[in-house]
Every structure is written in C-alpha cells, then in structure tokens.
Amino acid sequence: MPHTEPTCPDLPTPVMAIESSCDDTACAIVTTGGQILAETTLSQSGHVPFGGVVPEIAARAHLGALPALVRDTLRAADMQPHELGAIAASCGPGLIGGLIVGADMGKGMAIALDRPFIAVNHIEAHALTARLPGVASNGAPFPYLLLLVSGGHCQCIAVEGIGHYRRLGGTIDDAAGEAFDKVAKMLGLGWPGGPAVEQLAREGDPHAVLLPRPLLGRAGCDFSFSGLKTAVAQKLPAEVRTALPRQQAADIAASFQQAVSDIVIDRLGHALDMMEQRPTTLVVAGGVAANGVLRARLQEFATAHDLPFAAPPLRLCTDNAVMVAWAAIETMRARTALGLPIPNDIAMRPRPRWPLSEMTQRMTVDADSMPA
C-alpha cells in the first residue's frame, strides 16, 4: 500500500498493534503516515469441529501464538523493540479472554519499553480503516456512512469525526456473519461459513427459493436475520440437511445470499436518509464485506446515490492489527490537535462490551478539563 501521507513528527512512531478480539491473532507495525512496515495474522483452526468460535479455545490459542507472532512482525519490519514509538491493542468489544491476552501482552511491552499504551475500540478500528492512506480514493473525509457487517456486528454508523460516532441502526438479533455461519452448518458446509456459502452460491439460482426479507421497508435501519435463518431451516428437513442434492443446496445458498444483500441495501437506503449531513463516502468494513455479491450491490447503491464507495482490501476487512494501529494513530493525532497529551491506557481493563458512544469522552472530557 503506498505511503501517501507524511509522518507526523510530533507523534511516537511507529506503532505496534495487537488484535485478539475473536479468533484471529494479529500483529502489525504502522507509521503515523500510514505506511505498513509489517503485518502478520494467524487464523485459528481449532474451532472447526465445533462449527463456531469457542472462547476458551480462542484465548488459549492467542496465548500460545502471540509471543512468536510479535517476534515475527518485528523481524519482518527489520526492527528492534526499542525502535517502536507506541504499543496499541484491541481492548473491546470482543471475547474477554482473547482481549485480556492481547492487552496484557501490549501493556507488558509498553511498560518494559517505557512507551505509551493505547487501548483501541475494535469497532472504531473498523470504522477508521477507510482513512488509511491508499484505501479510499478521496481519503474518506468526515462525515461518512459506515456499514459494518461481520460475524458479531451488523451496524450502520455515521462517522462524524475521531471519537464522534452516531449509531443509526443495528441488528436486533443475529449478525449477518452469524447467519452465514449457521446456514453453512445447516447445509453441511465448512466453517467459517461465509466463504463456503458464497462459493456454493455461485452454482445456484438466487431466485429459486422463496425466502423472507425481515424488516424490509420498515422505518429506521435496524437489521434482523434470525427469521431468515429460520426460514432456511424450514426448507431443510432435519434428516437430509447434510445430504441434499448439490443443486438444491446451491439454490438455497444463492437465495439466502440474495436475501441478505436485499436486506442490507434496503436498510442502507434508510440509513442514508438518517444522516444529518450528506456523507462524503459509503464505507463498508467487517468480514462479510469480503462477500463479492454484497460488494457489487453496495457499489451499485453508491453509484446510484452519487457517492464514492470505499471497501478495504479483503485482508483489512476481517479482523487485523493494521486497523488497530491506525485507530491508535488517528486518536493520537486528534488529541494532539486539541492540545491533549498522548493517551497512556495502562490502567484500562479490557471490556467485552465497549459502546462507540463512549469514545467521545476521549476527545471531550480531557479537553473540558484543560485550562482556558
């Protein structure tokens, strides 16, 4: 990825970041100008027999993998630990065991190296990925409309500034990625389910199976995928779920995928109407953003509404440490512009829930306490 912005001399650089909020263990080193010096990611395979992420297995896998992953990342960047300017880690939301492992590793390094530690909100990291130099052609200036679709999240967010986010709507039951995983399991496919369903759907007819579109046309931009998942289950007699003729399974996969994209596009239209200012860009992030059919539909939506469309490279859609480093850099830059000190979050405990609404405090509480 090209280095298109100068490094800010007032910020500690480069930043090493750790991501361990779910089942991907990741580490990256990024300069304050957005140059990715190194990135490493290890996807866990121990969850496959269970058809979903087992938190205890995930935490133990992070613990076993992270020290070597940090060393590999430093080696790939041709750096020594003392050359790092700051350490960051995802501290929520996510699976608490994995968050504790990553945060404690980051805090330990920060203390040993006498460097600041920046606690990063995982959702904020996804939200700011489009601002990483080279991702969005226009740089994704504020405000922009973010669609976050992943295994654990499905939200429309007005990104109005660093620390300033307005949740327009979200799922009231299952996330889109969770629905993909469950449908994949019904069809006897592998895990993770999203790529497996998408691959099978290429052989099917997206209009072959009649499925509902929950909340379609309703006011607001909340999502619901539980009823759609149940409707798929009703098309599959329990005794033959794993032995369907391939064409029938492909038709169900394609029809399900089409229904998900129809729901997302409808909800996104409502979200656009709810923006207080016209967005500069439509941004998509999260693991489900890697789905080719959904990406194509989102591009069509953006074109129809005369909006630039920004979709990060596939490796930056799923959980990764580059986005964590960049969120830390954006936070440091924004605080410096307000005359606030670089944060040092050593005392912060990881949190399984960390609403984006609380991020405003990071930019306003300290600013309000500054002398006039």
Q: Which amino acid is at 194?
A: G
How far is it, in rounded angstroms, from Cα 27 to Cα 324? 9
For the cut 70, the answer to whether the pLDDT of residue 230 exceeds it is yes
Assigned token pair, 300: 């069509």
Q: How far apart are the first and last CA of the chain?
A: 42
Helix, strand, or coil (residue 72): helix
Strands, sheet with 144-149, edge to edge from the N-terminal-most edge strand: 164-170, 154-161, 144-149, 282-285, 309-310
How far is it, in rounded angstroms, from Cα 367 to Cα 361? 9
Same fold flag, 15-129+317-369 and 142-311: yes
pLDDT in tens, 73-103: 999 999 999 999 999 999 999 999 999 999 9
| Residue 194 CB neighbour total at 10 angstroms | 26
For the cut 70, the answer to whether the pLDDT of residue 38 exceeds it is yes
pLDDT in tens, 100-154: 999 999 999 999 999 999 999 999 999 999 999 999 989 999 999 999 998 778 9
152 marked among binding-site residues: yes
138 marked among binding-site residues: no
The fourth-level CATH superfamily of domain 15-129+317-369 is ATPase, nucleotide binding domain (3.30.420.40)
So where are the chain's domains? Answer: 15-129+317-369, 142-311
194 marked among binding-site residues: yes
Assigned token pair, 206: 């997206």
Handedness of CA 118, 122, 123, 128 (dihedral sign): positive
211 marked among binding-site residues: no
pLDDT score for 6: 40
Please state the pTM of the whole predicted model: 0.90
151 marked among binding-site residues: yes
85 marked among binding-site residues: no
190 marked among binding-site residues: no
The fourth-level CATH superfamily of domain 142-311 is ATPase, nucleotide binding domain (3.30.420.40)
126 marked among binding-site residues: yes
